A and B are shown apart, each in its own frame.
Chain A
């Protein structure tokens, strides 16, 4: 199939398979939505390079999912390579390895590990957070293949008085495992340096997200999401931070000369299962249905809040690691929890602010943890008068038209709610 792609990058017109097509289609859409934003192109290139470029496969450290503190990995002199799922193509590669009901994120992650010619090398160290059944069994699969593993068994019950201690101990073990792998000792200095670098990145991201919220005329919602996701795709965190800061400056400049759009579309919160590049069908559909994504709440949504003040970077190396562990444990909104109180509170805080008119609760098939959470979240949101739309899907594109009709109906309902609110006030 011939696909015409962007002319600003190194993408050429060529034949694509399922894996490539999905990336190129998403990149094309993102580019066409944000063609006027030069600062955004670097993020597109980064995503492209991650998907098609050569990876540095020397003693790499592979992080499965987003819930591993990368500051520890960086402090040990490694460059983290994240596998966060999101690709239909890679999900298809693992079809023979996983049961039918496995969730697409795990399928996609496992698929990346078997990607012909680009899978992590045999010397790689895999860090696997055991947040759900699939991750546990992926770890078994990797171990059977003789790969080097470091497992993080996230304690599921926050009321367990030893949970934080257990998590902290595992962080120390992680530190030692990565150190052994890279041959670089983690010292207080390397830990402080890593913490500063990730803090700068997270602060830049937080600033960017705040600045671009509700400014679809400056940058599209899906592009905001890509900027966030590209953190896991970028080759260098420092370069990524600089680019995000530059993009924020560019947006601030453009905001001065461009008025806010009047008659803004209903703002929704996109919450639940993570939306990962290149599978952006949900944000694209939300946009097509005439809705604006005000915020995204998934397992990694609170990560930008994990930053370390300069004054707190004191104490021994172990104390610093203890601090990292404590911060991460408190901000963990992953499905590892018996009750995902962190996610619940985050959604409640947004609902209280009154900045969203509806919630799109995204459930990827097989991630039933989010369905359990919805049972608690829906009554809470109804208390604030916020309707919830449960959108269940997977990485396939066959259901796009069905979802479009349902989202359009939801959008209409939110519009009607606005009229009703105005009528009530008047």
Chain B
């Protein structure tokens, strides 16, 4: 009986690995085949390939442990300071999602289902290797998955406050100190002033390169495709910050060359789309790919797996140890436009800023099925952007490929609509005033 069960499990595992690697390889191939990629993209593809196709753990120095993190509120600086490597475990895997579908509540979001699926199968080294998982409680799904994960591995939760008053920041600072203790316990290394400063240095370097990347994108329109930018941002989850920063530095170099040679990815005036809402996590990159295959270009993103995830640097105003921890707490909460906060007016401000800076002509509001917090904010954002004459489309999707053709038709229609609008007022489009 046991042998039969073992054999069945073995067959299931084989099937899972086959499907999972095939899907990831397919999306990676589509990304690679998409024309107009800058030079230096290979390290990012390799990082994604290593995790999702070769099913290997995150590449790191020997002896270093990995700490799994979810959401943008977990400060990677602390993890580096403890001598470990942070790995963002939010996943977009379709195969893991189908396994997780049977593990967690039906109405849970696909991201959480994919996480539960990987945890259930135990076949993903990036998950299995984690010495600790840090789960900020940002939404109901994350709240419940924290309880579920705690049955299987070491978990530490962070209570993300619903508002950002001084007292909430104080509470978060206290939690970061608790997290620090936990990290020290798990890694066996003490977090010192020096190691924390080094952690800041690593992440700061990556953030510097990212800010340069964003600046270059703004300098010349159509410099890089959104799908490629998404691949870069997604790879940050599985690469140590310094390695990722170095690879991004090479891409920036290539972008600078392109600017000098006035070499854009296209000579056409493709409709410029901003992607916002639920995160686009590899391999679920179907929406940016569809946009770019349908004749648009993803010119910016406001998602937590995209630029928002690393954009805001920690600002140290007091260079004591406590001052650095406070800087991390402030960075995690104050500028964050995550819809988990009760009052999130700054997200609208940020969207308007992105629209202006990237000369956006239309916004795709991505809602993963079951992602209630983003869905709640859609109406308000639609109204706000509607008043500025920016068309918005709400795309609800799941982690499967069954809705691709439906999505394609809707995206094509949206892009056509923008093109129709674009024709008479092409000349004025770039000067839209806020």
Contacts and interface: CB of A to CB of B under 8 A. Distances in A.
Interface of A: 96-102, 130, 132-134, 136-137, 139-140, 143-144, 151, 153, 155-157, 160-163, 166, 169, 335, 337-339, 365-366, 368-369, 371-372, 375
Contact of B342 (A96, A136, A335, A339): A136
Contacts of A338: 137, 143-144, 146-147, 150, 157
A157 B377 contact: no
A139 B105 contact: no
Interface in B368-383: 369-370, 372-373, 375-380
Contacts of A132: 140
Interface stretch (B26-34, B62-70, B158-166): B158-166
A101 B163 CA distance: 24
B329 to A, nearest CB: 14
A144 B139 CA distance: 21
B289 interface: no
A111 to B, nearest CB: 15
Contacts of A371: 104-108
Contact of B372 (A102, A144, A155, A166): A102
A101 B372 contact: yes
Contacts of A166: 159, 171
B343 interface: yes
Q: How many residues of B sit at the interface, in one of the four size bands?
A: 35 or more
A375 B105 CA distance: 9
Given A144-B380, A368-B141, 12 more contacts: A101-B369, A130-B162, A132-B140, A140-B343, A151-B162, A153-B162, A156-B157, A157-B157, A338-B157, A365-B107, A366-B372, A372-B144
A399 B345 CA distance: 39
Interface of B: 104-108, 137, 139-141, 143-144, 146-148, 150, 157, 159, 161-163, 167-168, 171, 174-175, 178, 339-345, 369-370, 372-373, 375-380
Contacts of B380: 144
A157 B105 contact: no
Nearest to A336: B143
B139 to A, nearest CB: 5
Nearest to B146: A338
B20 to A, nearest CB: 24
Q: Secondary structure at chain A's binding surface: helix, strand, loop or mixed? A: loop
Given A162-B171, A372-B147, A153 B161 contact: yes
A153 B107 contact: no
Contacts of B340: 133, 136
A137 B377 contact: yes
Given A133-B139, A136-B342, A372 B104 contact: yes
A59 to B, nearest CB: 23
7 contacts: A101-B369, A133-B372, A137-B373, A156-B143, A157-B159, A366-B372, A368-B140
A140 B342 contact: yes
A157 B345 CA distance: 27
Contact of A134 (B157, B163, B175, B372): B372
Nearest to B380: A144
Contacts of B341: 136
B163 A369 contact: no
Contacts of A157: 137, 146, 157, 159
Given A133-B373, A134-B372, A366 B107 contact: yes
